[in-house]
A and B are shown apart, each in its own frame.
Chain A
Amino acid sequence: MLQQIEGSRAVASAVALCRPNVVCAYPISPQTHIIEAIGAMVKAGELDAEFVNVDSEMAAMSVLIGASAVGARAYTATASQGLLYMMEAVYNVAGLGLPAVMTLANRALGAPINIWNDHSDAMSVRDAGWVQLFAETNQEAIDLHILAFSLAEELSVPVMVCVDGFILTHAIERVDVPEQTQVDRLLAPFEPRHVLDPHDPVSIGAMVGPDAFTEVRYLASIRLSRALDVLPPLAQRHSDELARSVPSLVSPYRLDDADVVVVAMGSVLGTIKDVIDEMRDDGHAIGALGVSCFRPFPKDQIRDALAGASRVVVVEKAFSLGYGGILATDIALVLSGRGIPIHTVIAGLGGRPVWAASLRTCFNEAVDATLSETTFLDLDEEVVAREVDRMAATRRSGPSAENVLRDLAERSRT
């Protein structure tokens, strides 16, 4: 059914259609509207689930672990600091091989505290053993949540659906919310891989020493990687049922004959595609590749999709301090031996708007082969230079963030 609704509301509706047994709520911007909407549905009796207002994100993920361990379908949502606060349990649920679905309303990590969007939070848990899916639009956010439950329960692994904070969660758009009958057809009742059952008792969560830990991790990796085989046909099934394309591993855009290919994840792909359309109109052979599934990393699909590219630009909303692009590093490894230039464009940190014009400038430079290896999009070089000088001049130069803000304020006055 087509609806003009906020992204958070759309995600809440999709989750409700999946008939979760247990939903945990601990508020953090920009996830709040999702859990508020689900809470309201439970309170109103529209959704038959246990809605638990927990005391922290650590508790939220822990409740999910407990619920999942008795065979209940469990869901929560978080963002940013909340994800870090539950970090121990994020690793734990994956290590225990329990399925759970979590929305990550992507947001920057502090300090400085910042509630706006980037992908730092998602990148911080890329090694935790979760499937990480990225939504480009709110329609994808809906469809990926339904897909996430299917995948999680099929593989008995946790799945995180990354939805850009504010940009998607708070955007009101027209979306097609599936019918309950459609979702019921896509999502069979949860058959747990291992479960706490007094009729067939087991001990879950043993301590494993050096004698078997390597094997445990190896097997966990194999299981996670199976998503690469399982997801495409599963997504196809969902696409068939919903009569639209549900993202799978990667999303190619105008890649035919593309010389330069831009790789990115999440909502920024919308702007990128607009720029590519403009540049195609101008006769440039440029295309884009959206990575919908970041973990497990679809190396083969990316290698195939980039087979014709002679230059790759990775636009990403996070970076590894002291190193550089994270997605770019993964892409570089996939393309190693090809000998083609790979550029990193760090964009949209902490909610900085990613302007089409700025991207166009970068992409033009890429076409012209003048783009730097790493670019911080729209970086205020003047402010940075002044702070760098100040740090060089005096040891106690004060917190950089405050200094930069002061400089910016002064400049706007003058």
Chain B
Amino acid sequence: MSAERVPVRFYQVGSFAVGNRLVSADRRNAQSDPQRANSLTSGHRACAGCGEALGARYALDAATRVTNGQLVAVNATGCLEVFSTPYPETSWQLPWLHSLFANSPSVATGVAAGLRSLGKSEVRVVAQGGDGGTADIGMGALSGMFERNDDVLYICYDNEAYMNTGVQRSSATPGAARTATTDVVGEHPGNVFGTGKFVPAIAMAHEIPYVATASVADLFDLETKVERAMSMHGARYLHILVPCPLGWGSASSDTIRLSRLAEETGLFPVFEAENGELTGSRTIRHRVPVEEYLRLQRRFSHLFTREGEVKDVATVARIQAIADRNIRRYRLSEEVS
């Protein structure tokens, strides 16, 4: 009987953990390789538990692996830039350029154009920035890069506020969240509902070859998307949720847990799209109510009692409604797909 059976495909931790000794090395994540690039190496000055430091290394190591190291990175101003390159030390191990806050998509366009004109098209270009540099000040440049279909993978590390300057609201800040410019005072404490934008959807509207979202909680998914993106040419966009212990008021050890909860609540939809059309969604594995995600973050603490019970029922319901809508819109559940 066993001879005819399909071989075992169950690998204990499957693809959930970083590595898996039970599968062959070529099927493991780039992060499990002791020889991984460590594009962003030790000694950087990111806060303990920084999701962005993690996301950047995940993404760039995967891109380095798939391009055999033929990679150049352009960086917008922001936490990532500041904590990685304070003179006299840089944590980058790949060619890296920081110009300004608003212009990293354009600089990347220039890098790609320059390489192409010099006959070095094998060298690929990644641009990266935070949510402020992407959704706000860099939006025009990003849209231009998309619309021209320049051969750039742009990665947004979204921590949902201006963390580098001291946690001010960005257009990626969620409703009700406390920031330094959306204080928890007045009748509607925290950030205003109904504002803000979701850049992946804007990217999809440009009908560029590839748009995807990912988080630091699902490394396999993230690396797969980077590899997919790098297998294509033209403008590509990857939006990675990176919790910020400082700005979110969360435990430094909860960074990955919060990413996971953002995915499992539906608040952060994980999907991919090609040429403007949704082509795949990461289904929620164990759906959880939004309060499990919110409760761990001080920026939402005004919604809860000291004991952790929901205090502002209406607001939590509004946030839950956003999660429910995401689940429908991005087909995050088997039941709705």
Contact = CB atoms under 8 A, between A and B. Distances in A.
Contacts of A62: 99-100, 103, 106-107, 109-110, 141
Main DSSP-derived SS at the B contact region? mixed
Interface in A12-29: 21-22, 24
B283 to A, nearest CB: 37
A339 interface: no
B221 interface: no
Interface in B119-153: 120, 123, 140-141, 143-144, 147-148, 150
B107 A50 contact: no
Contacts of B116: 50
Contacts of B120: 70
Interface in A202-222: 202-209, 211-212
From B71, B85, B117, name the one whose CB has the most chain A CB atoms within 10 angstroms. B117
A203 B74 CA distance: 10
Given A22-B114, A74-B114, A198-B71, A65 B107 contact: yes
Contacts of B102: 58, 88
Interface in B79-116: 81-82, 84-88, 90, 92-100, 102-103, 105-116
Nearest to B143: A55
B117 A203 contact: no
A313 B265 CA distance: 74
Contacts of A72: 110, 113-115, 117-118
A337 interface: no
Contacts of A88: 100, 102-103
B99 A58 contact: no
Given A59-B106, A207-B85, A66 B114 contact: yes
Contact of A22 (B85, B92, B108, B113): B113
B235 interface: no
A54 B118 contact: no
A251 B111 CA distance: 38
Size band of the A side of the interface? 35 or more
A150 B175 CA distance: 54
Nearest to A70: B114
A203 B114 contact: no
B85 A206 contact: yes
B69 interface: yes
A41 to B, nearest CB: 14
Size band of the B side of the interface? 35 or more
Contacts of A48: 117
Contacts of B85: 203, 205-207
Contact of A70 (B69, B70, B111): B111
Contacts of A70: 72, 111, 114-115, 118, 120, 123
A198 B39 CA distance: 12
Nearest to B92: A203
Interface string A55-69: 110111111111111
A54 B70 CA distance: 26
Interface string A189-201: 0000000111001
B43 to A, nearest CB: 13
A96 interface: yes
B113 A69 contact: no
A212 B72 CA distance: 27
Contact of B98 (A50, A198, A205): A205
From A50, A70, A96, A212, name the one whose CB has the most chain B CB atoms within 10 angstroms. A70
Contacts of A61: 103
A64 B109 CA distance: 9
B110 to A, nearest CB: 3
Main DSSP-derived SS at the A contact region? mixed
B96 A54 contact: no
A108 B95 CA distance: 40
A52 interface: yes
Nearest to B39: A201
Contact of B147 (A24, A50, A55, A196): A55
Contact of B110 (A22, A92, A197, A198): A22
A59 B109 contact: yes
A60 B110 CA distance: 9
Contacts of B88: 206, 212
Contacts of B112: 66
Contacts of B70: 198
B106 A198 contact: no
A131 interface: no
Contacts of A206: 85-88, 90, 98
A88 B107 CA distance: 13
Contacts of B106: 54-55, 58-60, 62-63, 66
A307 B89 CA distance: 50
A204 B96 contact: yes
Given A59-B103, A66-B111, A206-B86, A196 B97 contact: yes
B38 to A, nearest CB: 13
Contact of A63 (B86, B113, B140, B143): B113
Interface string A64-99: 111111111010000000000000110010001000
Contact of A207 (B81, B94, B148): B81
Contacts of B115: 70, 72
Nearest to A21: B117
B85 to A, nearest CB: 4
A53 interface: yes
Contacts of B117: 21-22, 48-50, 67, 72
Nearest to B118: A72
Among all A-B residue pairs, the 8 with the closest Cβ atoms:
A66-B110, A55-B144, A72-B114, A205-B98, A62-B106, A67-B114, A63-B110, A62-B103
28 contacts: A52-B109, A52-B110, A52-B113, A53-B148, A54-B109, A54-B144, A55-B143, A65-B103, A66-B106, A66-B107, A66-B113, A68-B110, A70-B120, A72-B110, A72-B117, A88-B100, A92-B99, A92-B100, A196-B96, A198-B71, A203-B96, A203-B97, A205-B97, A205-B98, A205-B99, A207-B86, A207-B98, A209-B86
Interface of B: 69-72, 74-75, 81-82, 84-88, 90, 92-100, 102-103, 105-118, 120, 123, 140-141, 143-144, 147-148, 150
Given A54-B109, A65-B99, 10 more contacts: A63-B109, A63-B113, A66-B111, A69-B107, A69-B110, A70-B114, A198-B94, A198-B123, A203-B90, A205-B97
Interface of A: 21-22, 24, 48-50, 52-56, 58-72, 74, 88-89, 92, 96, 196-198, 201-209, 211-212
